[in-house]
Structure 1
Amino acid sequence: MTAGSEATVEPADTGPPAPSGRHPWRTFGRWRHRRPFGAGLAIALGGAEILLTQQASISVILTAGADGLVGYVLPVIMIVSGLLIVLNPRQRLFYSIVAVLASLATWVTSNLGGFIVGMLLGLVGSSLAFGWLPDQPRRRWRRAGARPEKQA
C-alpha cells in the first residue's frame, strides 16, 4: 500500500438480519382469527371439489346448453362466495346465503353435489359463516381439561 491511501475494510456477512419483532405466521394468525376463515375455506374447498368432479369437457357442456353450463357456474359461485366471506366478513350473511343456495343446487346439477362431499362442505361452511359472531371474545380452554367457570 502507498502511504497516502487508506484501506477500507468491509464488514463480514454475519448471517440473516436481526428479527424486527414481526413474525409472518403470527400476523397471519391475528388476521385469520378476526374473520370466519374456516367457513370460507370450507365453502371454497367444497366448490373446488365439485368443480373437479365434473365429467364432461367444456366443449360438450357448451353444446348441451344452459343446463350443462350451470354445473360449472354453481361451483365457481361457491368458490367466490368462500373467498368473499374471508375477505369481506361484514357481508358474511349475504355470502353465506348465496353459498348455501349454490351448494343445494349442485345436488341436481353437478354429480349429486360432487358426490355429496362438496355439497356437505359448502353447507357446513355456510352454516359456520352464518353463525360467526365477530364481537365475541375467543374462547380459551384451560390446559388441565376443565371448562372455564361461568360468570354470574
Structure 2
Amino acid sequence: MSAESMATGQNEHFLRALWRRFRDWRGQRPFWAGLFTLLGGVPIAYFPHTSMRLGDLTLSLATTTGAGSLIIGVLLVTLGFTMWFHHIVRVFAGVASILLALISLPIANLGGFVVGFLFALIGGALSIAWAPGQPQDAAAPAPGAAEDGRHSAG
C-alpha cells in the first residue's frame, strides 16, 4: 500500500466512502431541519385516517378535517424535501413549516397529538437558523492582517 493510493481513497471501504459522501452532502444543507419537518408531517397526515385498537376498544380518529390534515402533512413532507434539495429557499420553507405546524393544532387532531406539531415547529426553526458554512481556508484570516485589510502598526 503506497501513500499515493491512500491519498486518493483507492483502498477505502465502500461503506466508509459512502458515509463520507453522505456527511459532505449533509453538511451543505439544513439536514436536521428537513428531517424534523418530514417527521412532523407524517403523524399529522396519518392519525386522522387510522383506527387504533386498545384491547377491545377501537379508537377512530376520523374527523371532518381529514382532508385538511392530509394536505398539511403532505405539504410538511414536501417542505422537508425542499430543505434538503433546494436549500436556497430554506427561510421560506422554515416559515411555511412553522405556519403549517401552527395551523395543524386546530385542524389535525392537535397537530398529530402534539408530536407532529413539535417536530414541524423545531424543523422550521432549525431551517431558519441554518446558515451555510464557509470553506476552511476562506474562514481563517491571514496571520498579521487587521480587520480592515491594513497591517497593524504594532
Interval containing the TM-score (normalised by the shorter chain): 0.5 to 0.7
Q: In 2 relative to 1, CA 123–111 (structure 1 residues): closer, same or farther, beyond 3 Å? A: same
Q: Distance in 1 between matches of 2:19 and 2:128?
A: 27
Q: Distance in 2 between matches of 1:19 and 1:103?
A: 47
Work out which of the residue numbers 13, 26, 46 in structure 2 matches 1:52: 46
Give the alignment's TM-score, normalised by structure 2.
Answer: 0.67
CA RMSD, aligned part only? 2.5
Specify every segment of 5 or more residues in structure 1 that has no aligned partner in the other structure, as ranges: 1-17, 139-152
Query: Of the two, which has the highest radius of gyration?
Result: 1
Counterpart residue type for residue 69 of structure 1: A
Q: Distance in 2 between matches of 1:89 and 1:38?
A: 12
Give 3-state SS (helix, strand or coil) of 2:132's partner: coil
User: 1:125 maps to which residue?
Assistant: 123
Q: Distance in 2 between matches of 1:39 and 1:114?
A: 18
Percentage of pairs with the same residue: 33
Q: How is 1:3-152 mapped onto 2 (pairs within 5 angstroms)?
A: 19=11, 23-55=17-49, 67-135=65-133
Q: Distance in 2 between matches of 1:118 and 1:19?
A: 44
Give 3-state SS (helix, strand or coil) of 2:48's partner: coil
User: 1:14 maps to which residue?
Assistant: none
Q: In 2 relative to 1, CA 136–126 (structure 1 residues): closer, same or farther, beyond 3 Å? A: farther
Counterpart residue type for residue 76 of structure 1: V
Q: Which runs of 4+ in 1 moved over 6 A?
A: none
Specify every segment of 5 or more residues in structure 2 that has no aligned partner in the other structure, as ranges: 1-9, 52-61, 137-154
Q: Is the 8 A contact 2:48 2:66 kept in 1?
A: no
Give 3-state SS (helix, strand or coil) of 1:135's partner: coil
Q: Distance in 1 between matches of 2:48 and 2:69?
A: 8
Give the Å deviation of 1:52: 2.0
* Structure number with higher helix proportion: 2
Q: Distance in 2 between matches of 1:33 and 1:131?
A: 14
Bigger mean CA offset, 22-31 vs 41-50? 22-31
User: 2:4 maps to which residue?
Assistant: none
Give the Å deviation of 1:55: 3.9
Give 3-state SS (helix, strand or coil) of 2:133's partner: coil
**For residues 21-53 of structure 1, what are the alpha-carbon distances to aligned partners after superposition, in whole Å with 9 as ceiling and x for unaligned?**
871110011000111000000000010122221
Q: In 2 relative to 1, CA 137–71 (structure 1 residues): closer, same or farther, beyond 3 Å? A: same
Q: In 2 relative to 1, CA 49–68 (structure 1 residues): closer, same or farther, beyond 3 Å? A: closer
